[in-house]
Each structure stands twice: as C-alpha cells, then as structure tokens.
Structure 1
Amino acid sequence: MIIVAPGQGETTIRHSAAGRIMTIPGPTLPVDRRYRYFNDEPALHALLDRLDPDVVEVSSPWGSPAMVARWRGRALRSLVMHADPLSAYAYRWFGGIASRGNIDRGFEFFWRHLRRLDQQFDIVVSAGASLTGRLAAGGMRKVQTLPMGVTPGIFTPALRDERLRARLLARCGLDSDATLLIGLGRLAPEKRWPMVIEAVAAAGYSHPLGLVLFGNGRERARVIRAAANNPHVQLHAPITDRGELATVLASADALVHGCEAETFCMVAAEAKASGLPLIVPDEGGASDQFVRGQGEIYQACSSSSLAEAIGRFMGSDPKLQRRRATASAATVGSMDTHFARLFEVYANAMRSPASVA
C-alpha cells in the first residue's frame, strides 16, 4: 500500500516492505497551515504513471478526486467519503435561517461536483447508512456502505476502573455517586462543544453530573469560556496513549457527543466497544452507532433537546443501560473486518468491472 500526499517536497518514507508514504510538493491551506493540498496535476499524474497501481483510493471530496479522475491510468478508482462538507459547513452555517432543501439548492454546484465524481469513479465508499442515504438522495448512484470499526484488542469493558472514575468525578468537584460523562474530539466548531457544555449545565441542576472533555483545537478558547463558570466541567488535553484512552472510556457512565456531521464517528464506536451508553444527535454517523436502550438520542443542534436527553438518561437506570452496552460491546466491528470487506469489494470489481456500474 502506498500513500501519496502533498508535502513540503518530494520524499519517500518506507515503513516496511509492504508500504510507504510518498509526497510531492503542495502548498499549505490558507485557512489551516497544518494541511497541504495537491495543486500540480501533471506531477500527480506522472507519479501515478510511475506507480501504475491496481486501485487508486481518494479520501477527499475536493479537488484531488477530479485530478485522479482525469488521469489516464488503468487503475480502479475509489472515492472514500471521509468528510461530509455539507453537514460540517453549509448546514451548520445556514441551518438557522434556511431549510435543508433550500441549502442544498443553494449549494447545487457542490452536488453537481459530487455527481460528476460519482460518474467518473468506479466506487464511492461511505462509512455509514445516514451518509449513504443523503448521497443517494443527492443523485449519487455508486455509493456502497462499508462501516469502519475499532482497532481490535484495545477497547473492552473489562478495563473499567472505579478508582479512576472516582478521581475524574473528584476533578469535577463531585462524589462517586454522581454521573460521569466523557467527551472526546477536536475542539472545532462542528463538534459543538459549547452546546454540549450548556446542556450538561442545564441537566446538572436536577442530578449531580460531571463532564470530562478531552480534546484540543482552534476553538479551545471558546470552549474554555463556555466551561468557565461550571466547576463540574473539566477540559483536558487529548489522550495519545490508546490503552489509557480505552481505560478512561470503560470507566465512564456514558459518552456525550455534539457533532451531527460525522461520517462514521470513531469515538462513538470506541465507546460502544468499551461498554459505554451513547448520548448522541439524531443525524450523522453518531446516530448510526446508537442502540436503543443503551443511551439516548436527541435532536441535532439543539442544546435543550440534549439537556432533556441527558435528564432522561440519568432519570432512567444508567447502570442497567451500561450493563446492556457491556453485553453488546463485543459485537462492535473491527477495522480489520472493514479493510477485509473493502479489499474484497475492490477485488470483485477488478474481476467484474460491470458489477460496479
């Protein structure tokens, strides 16, 4: 497997005999200098010519897939929708003043772009049923749902640590009889952490409730301001050690999530594999992860609906819901299974090209 990415220069990093990372020069994004993008189509085509791959997989819905679509190579072409720009941007920006249908009409140019890619690529891969449904409704005809999964052997309810749970609640100024919610993710506008904090504060009036949020990002100052007057909300840096993350998840009472623009919601899948009930919006990849009786679902983008959902969760039997989530944790799919299915789809498509039309 070879990853081709825009970089500062032309480099090759070989990690093993089976895989490497290659870069060609690409400028940084003006809106986020941490990222680069392809802007030299002839250089990209020349590199693909040299590599002569069997499959080219593009993981961006922006300019890169159009460049790959114009390449004259023999490879099977796959567009993987790892981003949902309409939900992350258009619906979030204009959802308060216009209906979803009107927004889609206003962004018809982007839908035309996606439909054109759908025609040019052999396969479009979606990680969740909700995204597949929206793409199909928008006129895309080659979308296949192949859910991702968690890294095997890491996340399990067996890692639950009651002493860790008590320490996390103590950081929130609460005793161990309180409810511990965990939030994980980038501090970015589409994650809606201020909305989550507002809802937690409202729900906390009727029941001792603590929120520990792990994350970092450009919205950090705004999130800190949102939590400034609530000692029961604690913000921490991201957990980089996967084993530690798995222990923290298994030791909480529920995961709370605010983003309706997820394509799969890896955080929710990892929480499910850790035996955690989910409190998630009713749109996007997080909703695909929801199991009734193992948490609560709420109206996306609504702080009051989220507060009510948290209240319902605490007013029911959280321990029973956790036992149910623990019992079904082992059914969460793995990334190994995802890639086995994905490569099987590619192999079948290469044997029978007509089957992907």
Structure 2
Amino acid sequence: MRYCDLTLAYTETSGGIRTYIDQKRRYIDEQTDDEHLLIVPGERDHCERQGRLCKIEIESPLIPGCEPYRFFWRPDKIRRALADQQPDVVELGSYFLSPWAAFRYRDERRAEGLPTLVSVYFHTDVAHAYVGAPVRRFFGEGMESVSDTLALWGHKLGEILEDGAESAFGQMFRKCDLTLAATQAQAARVADYGVQGTEIVPLGVDLSLFSPERRSAAARERLGVAEDDILLIYCGRLDSEKAVTLLVDVFERLPAMSRFHLVLVGEGPLRAELEARAGRFGRVHVLPYEKDKSAYATLLASADLYVTAGPHETFGLAVVEAEASGLPVVGVDAGALRERVRSDWGRLGPVGDAGAMVGNILEILPRCRDMGRAARRHVLEAGYGWDRSFERLFELYRKGLSQSADSDPAGSSKRTDPLLSRHQ
C-alpha cells in the first residue's frame, strides 16, 4: 500500500502539521511494510527517496508575507507526480489548487478499476482564521475610532466573506471520500462548511520525549532565568493568527516586582516586531524555531507555565506537548483549547483580553507545580500516543478503500451532502 500527503504546510520551521506528517512517515516506516509519498511546494523540482519514503518538491513561488511557505501553482505537476508514484490514498493538507489534481488522479485510477481514496484533514480553519477573523480585526481595530458605522459594516463584511469561504471550501471537502478532524469541536466546525460524517483522529505526542524529567537548570541559566524565577513559554508560529503579540502585552502588565520571563519560540512574519519589543525588556526572549526535538523538549520542560492567545487552534498540539512536559496552561476560551485545558491544570479567559490573562496567570501561580503534575497525568490517561492515532487513521483508510468501488465514476463518493444548517 502506498500513502500520500499533499500539503503546503511543510517547511523547515513548520509546527503541528509537519510533526503529524513526520510521525506518520515514522509509523509507516517502522510499523508497516507500506510506502509513503510526500508532495510539497519547493524552491525547485526535486525528488528524494529514503527506503520506502519518498519526498517530491514542486517548484512554487513564496507566499508574500508568509515566508518560507510557498503555494502550489502548477496542478499539472502535482497530477504528474501522483500518476508516476501511484499512491492508493491521498490525504489533502492544502485546500486550494492541489485538491483538484488529486480528484482527477482518483477518477482516472477508479476508471481503471483501482480502489483509490482522497481524504482531507481539517488542520486549519481557513475560512475563519484567514478570511473572516482578519477582516473583522482590521475594521474593528482600524475603524472603530473613526466611525462605529464603518466598523459595523466591516464586521458584516467579514461574516459575508467567511460564509463565502466556507461554501467554497465545503464544495471541495464534499468531493473527498473521508474528512478527518482532531476533535469533536472541529468536526462540528466542518459541519459549518456543509460536511457531515467527519471522523475523529486525535493527534499524538511522543510521551517519552516530552516529559517533566527533562527539566534543566542549565537550560534556564542560559536564558538568565533563576530557579525561583517564573518562566512563561509559547511555542508556535509568530503570526497574527496566533495572536502572539498579546503575550508581550500580558508580560508588560505582570507585576514588576516578580521575576517573570517570557520565551517565544518559533518563526513567522511578526518576528521583527516581537524582537523590537523584546529589546525593551531584559526578560523577553524571542528564540528561533528549534529543529532539535530533544532540545525543544528540554526547553519546554524547563519552563513553569505555557501561555497561548491564539483562538483558532484545531487541536493544540504544542499545548498537549506542554502538558506532557508537566506545565499548566493559560490560554483563551476558543477553538480546541476548550477541549485541551481544564481547571485542574489551567485557565482559559476571553479572547484578546490581556488583563484577564494576567489575572489567570497570577491566580494559578501558587499551584503551578501541582497543576503541572495534573496536566501530565491527564495526557497519560488520555492516551495521547502517536501509535494510537495512526492505528485509528489507517483503520479508516482501509475501510474507505474497501468502499471505494461504490463511488460513482465522476469521483463523488456516496457521502451525505446536506446544506449548511445555517442557510436552511
């Protein structure tokens, strides 16, 4: 059997999606006799193979303002790569041009009587995070001081554009044989796109790598953090979707007499702005994306509290890694964080409210160690291991392939295709 992931969210500094794909390739290589094909945009056309693992890069331009990410613009090359490699299952991690090449490939294979499956994993709520929310934020922050009417119309425009994006992406999702999401909440969000029957495949964590036992005084000392200081940490993309600048706002409001430090780990378009703001403090550190997973796990376990202000998480992999490392979490009451953070090991507050986040940090501070142990226990009891995730995933793949012969010749499977409930 040959599996394929087709995505633009795979670079040297990518986060959760790259981790998911890398762990899937590890599982296939170590636990099966199958093969895996990864197709991503790159600087040039290139193919590399390591045993049963193959990676194809297709020459693609950079996405302005989102470097180093690139976007596919030659679906014909994608289709050619698929035809050359002949995967049985193609999982989509990108929702723009690339799916149509995959659908055409599936239709051609099925016409030859070859069972073929196209699935999509809802890694990112594109309609909300990249369409509706930015428009509403622009008009909310930029127009309210000028005109309440303009701000109101801007908010309505954001809703209209988000509805349109949901409709457009929903059409693509409905052409897939299988839709996947990490949580029940995200499956419900996929239903807003007009798709029912989404299967839940939680992401996993390397429970031996991410552990409180990796806590290191030396790692803290390198940052100038004493044992009695409080180290707050965020790990992820440094962009507006993650609301990462709010974390610096929070740091500015924390009591001056307390020895707080804030570490932001990652890459993204807001790095320069964050570095400039960090330069005004001696205890805010903006660190590069850590490619060494062992070093990353050590840094995470050496912190005291994980903070995140992003409202669009579809699973919150970095949050679960932090919990596995023995950290309590302070975040926002939105997205997948509602399922990841409970009062026993963290606090959630209103989106965009720095003052509320400060209050939550100060509230749990006296119980940080106990809450961190509760977070670790929860992750272990919940079974957030990667092998369990992929056992579930490949079971769904096998079931989907067995039903592939029941799909119509045009490639549209016999899945229910309801109208959006909000438009009924």
Alignment map for 1:270-289 (pairs within 5 Å): 270-289=321-340
Shift of 1:320: 2.0
Output the amino acid matched with 1:88: A
Alignment map for 1:99-114 (pairs within 5 Å): 103-114=158-169
Shift of 1:27: 3.6
Within 2, Cα distance between the matches of 1:179 and 1:33?
33
Contact 2:127 2:166 in 1 (8 A): no
**After superposition, what is the alpha-carbon deviation per residue over 1:62-120, rounded to whole angstroms, capped at 9, x for unaligned?**
22113323442332110122222234323144143469886333333211112211221
Larger displacement relative to structure 2 (233-242 or 268-277) = 233-242
Q: Which of the numbers 3, 13, 22 marks the counterpart of 2:48?
A: 13
Contact 2:67 2:268 in 1 (8 A): no
**Residue 108 of structure 2 corresponds to residue 86 of structure 1:** no
Contact 1:280 1:287 in 2 (8 A): no
Q: Aligned Cα RMSD in Å?
A: 2.6
Output the amino acid matched with 1:313: I
Contact 2:119 2:179 in 1 (8 A): yes
Contact 1:203 1:307 in 2 (8 A): yes
Output the amino acid matched with 2:63: L
Secondary structure at 2:119 match in 1: strand
**Residue 341 of structure 2 corresponds to residue 306 of structure 1:** no
Structure 1 unaligned blocks of 5 or more: none
Q: Which of the numbers 210, 221, 224 marks the counterpart of 1:171?
A: 224
**Residue 370 of structure 2 corresponds to residue 320 of structure 1:** yes
Contact 2:89 2:117 in 1 (8 A): yes
Q: Which of the numbers 103, 106, 118 marks the counterpart of 1:77?
A: 118
Output the amino acid matched with 1:181: L
Shift of 1:31: 4.3
Larger displacement relative to structure 2 (185-194 or 273-282) = 185-194
Output the amino acid matched with 1:185: G
Structure 1 residues 37 and 214: alpha-carbon distance in aligned structure 2, compared to 1, 3 A threshold: closer
**Residue 59 of structure 2 corresponds to residue 4 of structure 1:** no
Alignment map for 1:257-276 (pairs within 5 Å): 257-276=308-327
Contact 2:60 2:73 in 1 (8 A): yes
Shift of 1:59: 0.6
Structure 2 unaligned blocks of 5 or more: 1-35, 111-115, 141-150, 407-412, 416-424
Shift of 1:272: 1.2
Output the amino acid matched with 2:393: L
Contact 1:157 1:329 in 2 (8 A): no
Q: Normalising by the residue count of structure 2, what TM-score does the alignment of the two structures yield?
A: 0.75
Output the amino acid matched with 1:272: E
Within 2, Cα distance between the matches of 1:130 and 1:101?
24
Number of residue pairs matched by the alignment: 351
Within 1, Cα distance between the matches of 2:78 and 2:266?
34
Alignment map for 1:1-357 (pairs within 5 Å): 1-16=36-51, 18-32=52-66, 34-71=68-105, 72=107, 73-74=109-110, 75-89=116-130, 90-95=132-137, 96=140, 97=151, 103-162=158-217, 164-165=219-220, 167=221, 171=224, 175-205=226-256, 207-314=258-365, 316-331=366-381, 333-353=384-404, 357=415
Shift of 1:191: 2.2
Within 1, Cα distance between the matches of 2:255 and 2:74?
53
Shift of 1:278: 0.9
Larger displacement relative to structure 2 (203-212 or 279-288) = 203-212
Structure 1 residues 266 and 333: alpha-carbon distance in aligned structure 2, compared to 1, 3 A threshold: same
Shift of 1:33: 5.2
Secondary structure at 2:69 match in 1: strand
Q: Normalising by the residue count of structure 1, what TM-score does the alignment of the two structures yield?
A: 0.87
Secondary structure at 1:6 match in 2: strand
Output the amino acid matched with 1:48: L
2:5 paired residue number: none
Within 1, Cα distance between the matches of 2:318 and 2:63?
26
